[in-house]
Amino acid sequence: MHLIIAEKHIAAKRIATILSAGKLSQVRVNGVDTYQFQDENEQKVVIGLSGHIVKLDFPSCYNNWQKVEARELIDADIITVSTEVRIVAALKKLGKEATRVTIATDYDREGELIGVEALDIIRNINPDVHFDRVHYSAITPKEITSAFKNVSKIDFNLADAGHSRQVIDLVWGASLTRFMSLAAGRLGKLFLSVGRVQSPTLTLIVDKEKERQAFEIKPYWELYALLIDKKGNDFKVQHVNRRFWEKKEVDALVSKLGKIAIVTEVVTSTKQDIPPIPFNTTEFITAASSLGFTPASAMRIAEALYIQGFISYPRTDNTVYPATLDLRAMIEVFAKGTFKEYAEKLLAKEKLEPTRGKKETTDHPPIYPASLAKKSELNEQEWKIYEMVVRRFFATFAEPAIWETIKAKFEITSEEFSATGARLVEAGWRWYYPYNAPEDRLLPSLKEGDELIVRETEIINKETQPPGRYGQGRLIRIMEELGLGTKATRHEIISKLYSRAYVHGNPLQPTKTAYAVVETLEKYAPTISKPEMTSKLEADMDKIAEGLIPEKEVLKESREMLHSIFNELENNKDKIIESLRAGLREDKMIGTCPACGSVLMVMRSKKGSRFIGCQGYPDCSFSLPLPKSGQVMVTDKLCEEHGLYNIRIVTEGKKTWNLGCPHCNFKEWQQSLRESNEIKKEKEESNLLSEHNPKKTKKITDIKGIGKVTAEKFDNVGISRPEDLKNRDAEELAKLTNISINKIKEWQENIA
């Protein structure tokens, strides 16, 4: 039996469907769905994993944070624990019968490791089984068929590189998190997460915020004039000084300006707007961010599109299409359907010459559309991402966009003003990829010596702005430049910063907890907060993958680095405790008590419930309630009415709750409670009243026993309402309708 192992269930189903031409059976093995078919006198079984089916962990004797020192985790034994018991059991059962195993997981470090983990389980019970590997970049019939015709060997070096990352991240994360959490007194769900990649990334965000806070805002003024030509066209020109730092200077200048502007220079030129490079993961995430997708959601959608066979593998560093790709054939796929017009224009070219980025790798090509999708096959978000990938792919084959630019200078009473204009002359690649295109800035036809009327002047008051915060897409690009994380993990690191309540908003803004952690690390263990250490380990892991360094050597070096960091931490333990607790105390401050003027803080009662209480207690008993669960995040936004900081409630795996001002929230809750009680009271009174005054029937059919046929009989004799029935003589009515007189009397008695 030939056992084929895919990374996920849906991928297994697609691969089996392609290989069997749809002639397959779904068979459950130990509660796990497998796909089986006969091929060339050989039984084939395809099983999907659930990503990693085992994980690394410490033995349970290390779990007690109070009894086991954080440093002991550095050299602790590491064990492998099954996380998907049913899949492991199914693998063992199928592995016993298998004569051949083919690993068909995603081709990267993580995928290679996932495949080797599954293979190790099988080899433990069937050591002589033959095994091989298939590589593909898209789950399409052509790619899958080709992959299984050209099997290769498993890259154990690549798997070792993935395994080393797991070990290093576990040891660094667990030991540092335990040390810092114990120092801060933050245990349980409120632990302080510290990590090899996470902490330098958080430092970037905090340092950027400090840079913003240190920025000195200065007022300045800009001077504009509104000009009108002979045809009545108007447009704005700006004084060439751009910024005036003294108001009196610009006021003096305005006072002497006349009403005529003379054109002194007109320079017209054209500018080429070069087509974009192919999508690698970072380029893709940056582009998706500009459309409003977070890196995590963009990658989740891209992964779903890849598994469905609509796009190629989305985790790649490559920005150069390999020569093995038949680019014309790939475009021909779109010669029908939504993108027909664009595909036909490209196919009309004699030669297709795509753009090339600076990064060229051999594992996967850049992200490209692998097959034609219909809009009805995808949800709205999937279609947006798919369309963006298709359009970017087309744009890489297109001509440059051509802009006509105009630079003009004007003289108004010896003062020089200027204006620029731009017009898209040839759309080029922007026709295929219209996202974030600059708008035309048109100027009327001008020539030197033209006189124009100055209709009015305008002074605009502005202020210098601090450097912008990092958006998620920009932060991922910075992480890539600094060697922080990998294409597969950077978006996960950012998601972790949100879930740990270290940052909020987008662009990312650090919380006071983030400040406390980063400032403590920068002062007493700077190695953790800088990118050099983690980028060195990343480079070493690359060397493991290339077979240049054994994994054991890198793990040894990693542990030595961590021991040197712990020397710093332990030598400064008392200072770290003081620094963290002082910083985290600020993170609990909500504002000033309206009753006594003391500080309001997040507190806990003796029973463990939390609330906002006054430090003036017991003299002041002012308090505000807080939700029972979730982490309280204090933002820097102040309520104008109450002078309290707005708060958010962060619960891992759930959407962040913007609770806002806790005082406003409490007042709104009280108001809704009062309204709810009033509604409840009205209901009770209404029910009590209805017991003494039975509910009036509004329609004849509301009377029990009167249906549609009887209602029609009554309608024929002029009875359409209950009151009509009540006031009629029962005996007479019985004769007219041929309905029992006793029935009519019963109905009349029941009418309120």
Residues carrying an active site annotation: 313
Distance CA(544)–CA(162), nearest Å, equals 9
Amino acid of residue 417: F
Residue where the block lists tokens 């070219």 = 349
Let me know: does 272 contact 254? Beta carbons within 8 Å.
Answer: no
Residue 458, H or E segment: strand 451-463
Give the pairing of strands 2-6 and 100-104: parallel
Torsion of CA 249, 255, 259, 262, to 10 degrees: -30
DSSP 348: T
Let me know: does 57 contact 79? Beta carbons within 8 Å.
Answer: yes
User: Half-sphere exposure (CA, 13 Å, Cβ side) for 57?
Assistant: 11
Amino acid of residue 646: N
Distance CA(629)–CA(434), nearest Å, equals 45
Q: What's the start-to-end Cα distance of the chain, in Å?
A: 80
DSSP 375: G
Give the pairing of strands 415-426 and 401-412: antiparallel
Crossing angle, helix 156-184 and helix 531-545, to 10 degrees? 160
CA distances, 273 to each of 291, 348, 424, 476, 598 (Å): 21, 22, 10, 25, 60
Distance CA(492)–CA(488), nearest Å, equals 8
Distance CA(110)–CA(133), nearest Å, equals 14
- Conformation bin of residue 511: beta by default, left when phi > 0, alpha when psi is -120 to 50: beta
User: Half-sphere exposure (CA, 13 Å, Cβ side) for 301?
Assistant: 22
Give the pairing of strands 42-48 and 2-6: parallel
Distance CA(254)–CA(749), nearest Å, equals 92
Give the pairing of strands 54-57 and 79-82: antiparallel
Residue where the block lists tokens 């059919």 = 701
* Tokens read off for 573: 């333990």
Distance CA(182)–CA(191), nearest Å, equals 8
Please compute Rg for the chain using Cα positions: 36
Let me know: does 403 contact 426? Beta carbons within 8 Å.
Answer: no
DSSP 467: P
* Tokens read off for 606: 């003796």
Crossing angle, helix 380-395 and helix 340-347, to 10 degrees? 20
DSSP 138: S
Distance CA(697)–CA(722), nearest Å, equals 7
Burial of 736 (0-12, 13-18, 19+ CB in 10 A): middle
Cis omega before residue 507 (within 30°)? yes
- Conformation bin of residue 714: beta by default, left when phi > 0, alpha when psi is -120 to 50: alpha
Backbone angles phi, psi at 103, to 5 degrees: -85, 120
Distance CA(213)–CA(392), nearest Å, equals 38
Handedness of CA 739, 742, 743, 745 (dihedral sign): positive
DSSP 540: H
Return the SS3 of 369: strand
Let me know: does 511 contact 501? Beta carbons within 8 Å.
Answer: yes
